[in-house]
Amino acid sequence: METTLVGIIKKKSLAKELNQGEEGELILQSTPFYPEGGGQIGDQGLIFTSNSRAQVVDTQKMDEELILHRVKMLKGTLKKGEEVVAAVNCLISC
């Protein structure tokens, strides 16, 4: 699913980017990821661009409108405001 990266949290603070080797939480405008709840673990997968890749290790619902994607940056840099692709790993989450 193509979407916009609308927020980044790094070390419990808002950030403008997340770089290779860093961990943080990403907020997407829309998401195919199902958050943890009702005994089900949160979806896992990838959020990426042509130059960057983040592994989604967990997905948490903070309230009715806000879903956090906990990620480890594998390659490149993700920046707030850029268009990304969000893909659920169906071998793990479906």
For the cut 60, the answer to whether the pLDDT of residue 10 exceeds it is yes
pLDDT band at 90 (very low <50, low <70, confident <90, very high): confident
**What pLDDT score does 77 carry?**
98
pLDDT above 70 for 91: no
pLDDT at 37: 79
Q: Domain holding 24: CATH number?
A: 2.40.30
Q: How far apart are CA 79 and CA 27, in angstroms?
A: 11
On the CB side of 84, CA atoms within 13 Å amount to: 27
Q: Tokens 């806000």, residue?
A: 66
Q: What is the pLDDT of residues 18-71, one digit of tens each?
A: 999 999 999 999 999 989 877 778 899 999 999 999 999 999 998 888 999 999
The residue range of the domain holding 44 is 2-93
Q: How many domains are contained in the chain?
A: 1
